[in-house]
Amino acid sequence: MKNPFKFGTVVDNEYFTDRINECEYITRFLSGENHLILISPRRFGKSSLVAKAVKQTGRKSITINMQNVTSVQNFSSRLMSALLKLYPIERIKHVMSHFRFVPSITTNIVTGNIDVAFMPNVDPVVLLEDAMELLERVSSQDNRMIVVLDEFQDVLSIAKGFDKQLRSIMQLQKNVNYIFLGSQESMMEGIFEKKKSPFYHFGQLMRLDRIPYDDFFGYVSERLPADVSKEILTFTHCHPYYTQQLAYHVWDMLHYESVEEDLIELTIERMVNLHDLDFERLWTSLTRQERRIMQVMSEGKVKTLLKDQSVPTSTTFSALKKLVQKGYVIKTTEYEIEDPFFGRWIKKLN
């Protein structure tokens, strides 16, 4: 039998649950001319949700993960090779004939990928303008392209001024809907909410929450016993990724190792041990203040943090902020440790 849980990659179909309203909202939103900004902590399901909604529109789309982009030139060639996958070269040749620099295009017959390469000494901004022009020209008012830029906060570290260059081109385009995804909330807010940022108020901001308990319980309990499902969700607090990950391993334990007693505890224990080395490395990279906070949080006593008289509140706050920036702590309705397994590992230190 196949394990009915999946974690790590974009999920769809039988591995995808809930998000009905969000999906509808995005689909409807994309019928207009505006751009969407979707923010949540990492592994909450942004990429999966957007992929599903985009698919539902039936329109052509391109996804570029900014985490993998190494330079402006590289962005341009990724964009062009994505376009060449969607449109036969005969259809777009006439636009490319206006290019200031003619790229060399090769098809990898093994992978089917199309590589686009430019001469190394060409001005990257010109390449960007040409590639973006191609994007605008192959799309039309009636058939607007959807371009998903995933982990968009990385735009800031690719090249100086890249955000400004992108924005100045994008604002003139009429045939494209952009969707910007990001997991580093403070950086994303900086990009889209700060007045001085080129992308200030460039689109509609949307936040993605965890999957609601009842929906997730329905999903897990169709595949595992109800009491087990409940325990899993209590441990993971309905975090999409960690829930699927834990459920996956619990399912394996149940079906292949016939463990029944203390099933959840045993699985958690195993997973914590498996990550011992990573957690140790993470832990030693934290400052003493950060460790203190993580320790208190692992006990589930977040509220006592700011009452602690022995440390100035400002010190605690700035350490908390750092932890959120690094992604070890997430803030939804309250602060909590992002990875419940790391939380358990820390708790064992106490």
Tell me how long the chain is. Answer: 350
Q: Which stretch binds ligand ADP (CB under 6 A): 8-16, 80-88, 104-112, 310-318?
A: 8-16
Candidate ranges 7-15, 61-69, 92-100, 327-335; the one touching ligand ADP (CB under 6 A): 7-15
Query: Residue 128 or 330: which CB sits closer to ligand ADP?
Result: 330
* Shortest reach from residue 80's CB to ligand ADP, in Å: 25
Q: How far is the CB of 226 from ligand ADP (least distance, A)?
A: 18
293: its two tokens: 């906070």
* Residue 339: count of CB within 10 angstroms of its CB: 23
Distance CA 271, CA 92 (A): 51
Residue 144: what residue type? Answer: R
240 binds, among ligand ADP, Mg ion, none (CB under 5 to 8 A by kind): ligand ADP
Q: Which helix (H) or strand (E) holds 331?
A: strand 329-331
Q: How far is the CB of 4 from ligand ADP (least distance, A)?
A: 11
Task: Round to whole Å and give the CA distance between 182 and 116.
Answer: 27
184 binds Mg ion, rule: CB under 5 A: no
Closer to ligand ADP by Cβ: residue 151 or 231: 151
What does 344 interact with, of Mg ion, ligand ADP, none (CB < 5 to 8 A by kind)?
Answer: none
* Residue with the two structure tokens 């463990």: 259
The contact pattern for ligand ADP, residues 180-209, with x = CB under 6 A and - = no contact, is ---x--------------------------
Token digits of residue 20: 């009905």
Site track 211-250 with ligand ADP (rule: CB under 6 A), x = hit: -----------------------------xx--x------
A 10 A CB-CB count for 78 gives 19
- Report what 43 binds from Mg ion, ligand ADP, none; CB cut-off 5-8 Å by kind: ligand ADP
- Of 233, 223, 258, the closest CA to residue 2 belongs to 223
Other C-beta atoms closer than 10 Å to the C-beta of 303 total 10
178 binds, among ligand ADP, Mg ion, none (CB under 5 to 8 A by kind): none
Q: Which residues sit opposite 336 in a β-bridge?
A: 330
3-state secondary structure of 267: helix
47 versus 243: smaller Cβ distance to Mg ion = 47
Positions in 18-77 near ligand ADP (CB under 6 A): 18-19, 40, 42-48
Decide: 190 and 226 in contact? Cβ < 8 Å: no
Burial of 135 (0-12, 13-18, 19+ CB in 10 A): buried
If contact means CB under 5 to 8 A according to the sort of partner, which of ligand ADP, Mg ion, none does residue 10 touch? ligand ADP
Pairwise CA distance, residues 246 & 10, whole Å: 17
Which residue in the set 17, 47, 81, 177 belongs to the binding site for Mg ion (CB under 5 A)?
47
User: CB under 5 A: which stretch of 46-54, 211-219, 220-228, 327-335 binds Mg ion?
Assistant: 46-54
Residue number, nearest CB to ligand ADP:
45
Alpha carbon dihedral 173, 179, 182, 186, in 10-degree steps, equals 60
Residues in the site for ligand ADP, rule: CB under 6 A? Answer: 6-11, 15-19, 40, 42-48, 183, 240-241, 244
Residues in the site for Mg ion, rule: CB under 5 A? Answer: 47
